[in-house]
Structure 1
Amino acid sequence: MKRYNPHLKGFGVGLGLFYVGERQGNLANSFELKGYLRTDAALYYKRNGFKAAINVRNLFDSD
Protein backbone atom coordinates (compact mmCIF):
# COMPACT_ATOMS: atom_id res chain seq x y z
CA MET A 1 0.00 0.00 0.00
CA LYS A 2 1.41 3.37 -1.03
CA ARG A 3 1.28 6.18 1.47
CA TYR A 4 1.53 9.81 0.49
CA ASN A 5 0.91 13.15 2.06
CA PRO A 6 -2.30 14.64 0.58
CA HIS A 7 -0.97 18.15 1.29
CA LEU A 8 1.77 17.57 -1.29
CA LYS A 9 -0.65 16.59 -4.06
CA GLY A 10 0.07 18.73 -7.11
CA PHE A 11 3.73 19.46 -6.28
CA GLY A 12 6.48 18.28 -8.61
CA VAL A 13 10.13 18.73 -9.44
CA GLY A 14 12.10 18.64 -12.67
CA LEU A 15 15.76 18.45 -13.62
CA GLY A 16 17.42 18.94 -16.98
CA LEU A 17 21.01 18.39 -18.09
CA PHE A 18 22.28 19.99 -21.31
CA TYR A 19 25.73 19.17 -22.67
CA VAL A 20 27.43 21.33 -25.30
CA GLY A 21 30.69 19.94 -26.69
CA GLU A 22 33.77 21.73 -27.93
CA ARG A 23 33.19 23.84 -31.02
CA GLN A 24 34.81 26.46 -33.22
CA GLY A 25 34.51 30.01 -31.90
CA ASN A 26 34.21 31.79 -35.27
CA LEU A 27 33.87 31.17 -39.00
CA ALA A 28 37.65 31.36 -39.54
CA ASN A 29 38.15 28.52 -37.01
CA SER A 30 40.86 30.56 -35.28
CA PHE A 31 39.90 29.45 -31.77
CA GLU A 32 37.84 26.79 -29.97
CA LEU A 33 35.28 27.10 -27.21
CA LYS A 34 35.36 24.48 -24.45
CA GLY A 35 32.40 22.19 -23.83
CA TYR A 36 30.19 22.60 -20.78
CA LEU A 37 27.33 20.99 -18.88
CA ARG A 38 24.36 23.15 -17.86
CA THR A 39 21.92 22.04 -15.17
CA ASP A 40 18.36 23.38 -15.01
CA ALA A 41 15.82 22.73 -12.25
CA ALA A 42 12.11 23.36 -11.69
CA LEU A 43 9.54 23.21 -8.91
CA TYR A 44 5.88 23.34 -9.79
CA TYR A 45 2.41 23.13 -8.29
CA LYS A 46 -0.80 22.27 -10.17
CA ARG A 47 -4.18 21.89 -8.51
CA ASN A 48 -7.79 22.76 -9.31
CA GLY A 49 -6.88 24.79 -12.40
CA PHE A 50 -4.16 26.76 -10.58
CA LYS A 51 -0.59 26.45 -11.90
CA ALA A 52 2.61 27.95 -10.51
CA ALA A 53 6.25 27.18 -11.29
CA ILE A 54 9.76 28.26 -10.40
CA ASN A 55 12.37 27.49 -13.05
CA VAL A 56 16.10 27.92 -12.55
CA ARG A 57 18.32 27.90 -15.61
CA ASN A 58 22.05 27.26 -15.19
CA LEU A 59 21.69 26.19 -11.56
CA PHE A 60 25.46 25.91 -10.95
CA ASP A 61 26.41 29.02 -12.99
CA SER A 62 28.43 27.19 -15.67
CA ASP A 63 30.32 29.34 -18.18
Structure 2
Amino acid sequence: MLESFADVNPLDSWGGKSFFLNPGHQLKRGTYFATLKEKDGDNDRHRLVRTGQLPNP
Protein backbone atom coordinates (compact mmCIF):
# COMPACT_ATOMS: atom_id res chain seq x y z
CA MET A 1 0.00 0.00 0.00
CA LEU A 2 2.79 2.40 0.87
CA GLU A 3 4.50 1.84 -2.47
CA SER A 4 1.29 2.65 -4.35
CA PHE A 5 0.15 5.67 -2.35
CA ALA A 6 2.77 8.25 -1.39
CA ASP A 7 0.38 10.22 0.86
CA VAL A 8 -0.38 7.32 3.23
CA ASN A 9 1.02 7.50 6.76
CA PRO A 10 1.15 4.14 8.66
CA LEU A 11 1.01 3.92 12.44
CA ASP A 12 1.49 0.79 14.58
CA SER A 13 -1.31 0.45 17.12
CA TRP A 14 -3.43 -2.08 19.03
CA GLY A 15 -2.23 -5.27 17.37
CA GLY A 16 -2.33 -3.89 13.86
CA LYS A 17 -1.32 -1.07 11.59
CA SER A 18 -3.54 1.97 11.06
CA PHE A 19 -3.32 4.00 7.87
CA PHE A 20 -3.94 7.71 7.50
CA LEU A 21 -4.28 9.70 4.29
CA ASN A 22 -2.14 12.82 4.51
CA PRO A 23 -1.74 14.60 1.15
CA GLY A 24 1.41 16.69 1.18
CA HIS A 25 2.00 15.64 4.80
CA GLN A 26 0.23 18.82 5.96
CA LEU A 27 -1.28 17.27 9.10
CA LYS A 28 0.35 15.51 12.04
CA ARG A 29 -1.11 12.14 11.03
CA GLY A 30 -3.77 12.75 8.40
CA THR A 31 -7.27 11.33 8.08
CA TYR A 32 -7.77 7.77 9.28
CA PHE A 33 -9.08 5.36 6.63
CA ALA A 34 -8.07 1.75 7.43
CA THR A 35 -6.57 -0.70 9.92
CA LEU A 36 -4.97 -4.04 9.09
CA LYS A 37 -5.02 -6.39 12.08
CA GLU A 38 -1.91 -8.44 12.78
CA LYS A 39 -3.35 -10.28 15.80
CA ASP A 40 -6.51 -10.47 17.89
CA GLY A 41 -6.70 -8.55 21.14
CA ASP A 42 -8.49 -9.74 24.27
CA ASN A 43 -11.49 -7.49 23.57
CA ASP A 44 -11.91 -8.18 19.84
CA ARG A 45 -15.52 -9.13 19.15
CA HIS A 46 -14.49 -10.92 15.94
CA ARG A 47 -12.34 -13.35 17.95
CA LEU A 48 -15.37 -14.24 20.07
CA VAL A 49 -17.53 -14.87 17.00
CA ARG A 50 -14.87 -17.03 15.38
CA THR A 51 -14.43 -19.19 18.47
CA GLY A 52 -18.18 -19.46 19.18
CA GLN A 53 -17.90 -17.68 22.53
CA LEU A 54 -20.13 -14.72 21.70
CA PRO A 55 -23.40 -14.80 23.67
CA ASN A 56 -26.69 -14.63 21.77
CA PRO A 57 -28.15 -11.10 21.61
TM-score where L is the length of structure 1: 0.32
> Which fold has the larger relative contact order, with Cα–Cα distance below 8 Å and residues 6 or more apart in sequence?
1
TM-score where L is the length of structure 2: 0.34
